[in-house]
């Protein structure tokens, strides 16, 4: 008897091993083949040519440093100093930071690391640490320049334009202007913009002013910072959280009664259940992106549109999950409540809700947390909240320090929501 069964068992075991071996080699091989296909389909090889490494360098340097422009207009001969070359960062005419000595239409600029520049009579003369001299003058027909022998990678010269990369600074001369950049570490005007009288004060001076009763003025200047717009940014963050809050909890409120109607043990009518389930599937299947577009046509751009898009999409998911949770409830508690003569509403309230509440709440909290992230993305599409700020800053392609600031804030916001919801969930599970 065993002799007969034995080869059969052996054969079975061998077949099983062969199958397992096929899977454990076949699956990685398939994945590899797919990735090779992706490599071709996404044109990864061509990426090297399309990639703009200079853009990467701009992002890397601009996100943690800033530059101050000293610009001489060739036509008028006037010299202007502006942080990042922006109107909002411009020094008042005739004023300049300490490293620029203005004298009418001439200026002496300390470029740091032993490099000095002199702008005078419509020309610039830069002295390098080893005593070499760069001279350039914008002319109507082009740029006239005399250069010492420099590393060719640091110079970009045509008839119309001269760019010299200095140590921590840059010189650009075109037919119409001379422009000097000097780079500084940090985020410029982060605390106070130039129009605030607290700009440029040292920490000690600020502390002194704060003690002297100027704290409200300082807070106001910080809050209304024209460049960084801290007040608006905080509002935008709040808006994003609000979108997630209203969308998630609104969805939970709408789908709870519907879930009762689509749970087998509460709604005997097959047609109602089937219909509602298909509605949930449809709402979930039509992606948040499509809902966002449809809603934006009706409600216009703004945070409410985003909140409603989250609300509709999540109603589908909640409806499905809640009805599953309701189907898993224990009947005995309902029977017990019924035996005391309770009516239907009381039976649900005291027999069912306490059973499902911890499950539902923890799901809702999980969605709330992940929706803060979705609200950022949806905000970028509908134009609300921090998502809007982020896309605007990226689209201007020069405010990378602000992009970095927003990214840091978004990450902090999502992580804060994450730990808050985790904390509440733990409390609920322990308490329930």
Partner 1 sequence: MADLTQGRAIRADYIALTQRRRLYSGLLLTVFVLMMIAAFDILESRNAGGFLDGLSQLPDFPIGLISEAWEKADRLPGHFLTFLPSLLETVNIAAASTIFGALAGVMLALLSTRGLARWPRMIPLFRRAMDILRAIPEIVIALVLIFVLGGGPVPAMIAIALHTAGALGKLFSEVAENADLKPVDGLSSVGAGWFQQMWFGVLPQVAPNFLSYAMMRFEINIRASAILGFVGAGGIGYDLRNAMTWGQGRFDQAAAIFLLLFATIVIVDQLSSHYRNKLSHAEH
Interacting residue ranges for partner 1, rule: CB under 8 A:
31, 34-35, 38, 41-44, 47, 50-53, 55-56, 59, 239, 242-243, 245-246, 249-250, 253, 281, 284-290, 293-295, 297-305, 307, 373-374, 376-377, 380-381, 384, 387, 390-391, 394, 397, 403, 407, 410-411, 414-415, 418
Least CB distance from residue 306 to partner 1, whole Å?
8
State in angstroms the smallest separation of the CB of 304 from partner 1.
Answer: 4
- Between the two ends of the chain, the Cα-to-Cα distance in Å is 58
- Distance in angstroms (rounded) separating the CA atoms of residues 65 and 185: 4
Tokens of 232: 């608006």
| Token pair for 193 | 């913009």
What is the rounded CA–CA span in Å between residue 373 and residue 417?
A: 10
123-167-54 Cα angle (round to 5): 100
From the CB of 187, what's the least distance to partner 1, in Å? 17
Q: Closer CB to partner 1, residue 221 or residue 369?
A: 369
For partner 1, the closer CB: 122 or 238 = 238
State the nearest-atom distance from the C-beta of 212 to partner 1, in Å: 36
Q: Would you say 175 or 230 has its CB closer to partner 1?
A: 230
Write down the least CB distance from residue 90 to partner 1, Å. 26
Decide the pairing of beta strands 133-139 and 100-103. Answer: unpaired
Q: How many CB atoms lie within 10 A of CB 398?
A: 13
Token pair 């006239």 is found at 144
In the complex with partner 1, the residue whose CB is nearer, 184 or 299, is: 299
What span, in angstroms and rounded, lies between the C-alpha atoms of 309 and 375?
Answer: 10
Are 165 and 151 within 8 A, CB to CB? no
Cβ 20 to partner 1 shortest distance, Å? 10
Distance CA 118, CA 106 (A): 8
Q: Which two tokens stand for residue 422?
A: 């985790």
Give dist(CA 308, CA 297) in Å, integer.
13
Nearer CB in complex with partner 1: 92/357: 357
Using alpha carbons, list the distances in angstroms from residue 6 to 3, 11, 15, 18, 20. 5, 9, 14, 18, 21
Minimum distance of partner 1 from residue 257's CB (angstroms) = 16
| Nearest of 358, 356, 345 to residue 425 by alpha carbon | 358
- Report in angstroms how near the CB of residue 388 gets to partner 1 at its nearest: 11
> What distance in Å separates the CA atoms of residue 160 and residue 174, rounded to the nearest whole number?
6
Nearer to partner 1, 212 or 431 (CB): 431
Closest CB to partner 1 among 136 and 307?
307
**Nearer to partner 1 (CB atom), residue 186 or residue 354:** 354
């Amino acid at each position: 008897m065993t002799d007969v069964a034995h080869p059969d068992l052996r054969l079975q075991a061998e077949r099983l091993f062969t199958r397992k071996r096929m899977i454990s080699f076949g699956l990685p091989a398939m994945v590899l083949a797919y990735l090779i296909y992706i490599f071709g389909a996404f044109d990864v090889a061509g990426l090297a040519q399309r990639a703009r490494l200079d853009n990467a360098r701009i992002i890397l340097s601009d996100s943690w440093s800033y530059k101050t422009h000293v610009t001489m207009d060739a036509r008028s001969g006037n010299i202007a100093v502006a942080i990042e070359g922006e109107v909002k960062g411009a020094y008042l005419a005739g004023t300049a930071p300490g490293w620029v000595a203005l004298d009418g239409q001439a200026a002496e600029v300390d470029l740091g690391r032993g490099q000095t520049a002199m702008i005078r009579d419509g020309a610039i003369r830069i002295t390098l640490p080893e005593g070499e001299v760069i001279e350039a003058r914008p002319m109507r027909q082009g740029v006239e320049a005399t250069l010492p022998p420099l590393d060719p990678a640091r110079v970009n010269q045509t008839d119309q334009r001269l760019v010299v990369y200095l140590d921590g600074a840059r010189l650009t001369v075109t037919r119409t202007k001379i422009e000097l950049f000097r780079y500084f570490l940090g985020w410029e005007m982060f605390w106070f913009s130039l129009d605030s009288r607290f700009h440029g004060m040292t920490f000690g001076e600020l502390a002194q002013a704060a003690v002297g009763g100027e704290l409200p003025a300082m807070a106001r200047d910080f809050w209304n910072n024209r460049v960084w717009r801290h007040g608006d940014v905080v509002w935008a963050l709040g808006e994003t959280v609000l979108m997630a809050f209203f969308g998630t909890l609104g969805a939970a409120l709408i789908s709870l009664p519907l879930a009762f109607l689509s749970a087998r043990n509460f709604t005997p009518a097959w047609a109602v259940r089937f219909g509602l389930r298909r509605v949930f599937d449809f709402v979930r299947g039509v992606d948040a992106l499509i809902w966002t577009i449809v809603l934006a046509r009706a409600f216009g751009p703004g945070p409410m549109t985003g909140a409603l898009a989250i609300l509709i999409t999540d109603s589908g998911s909640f409806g499905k999950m809640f009805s599953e949770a309701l189907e898993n409830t224990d009947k005995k508690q309902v029977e017990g409540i019924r035996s005391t003569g309770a009516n239907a509403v009381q039976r649900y309230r005291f027999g069912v809700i306490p059973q499902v509440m911890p499950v539902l709440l923890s799901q809702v909290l999980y969605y709330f947390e992940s929706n803060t992230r979705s609200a950022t993305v949806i905000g970028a599409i509908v134009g609300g909240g921090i998502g809007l700020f982020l896309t605007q800053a990226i689209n201007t392609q020069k405010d990378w320090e602000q992009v970095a600031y927003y990214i840091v804030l978004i990450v902090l916001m999502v992580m804060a929501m994450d730990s808050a919801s985790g904390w509440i969930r733990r409390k609920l599970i322990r308490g329930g």
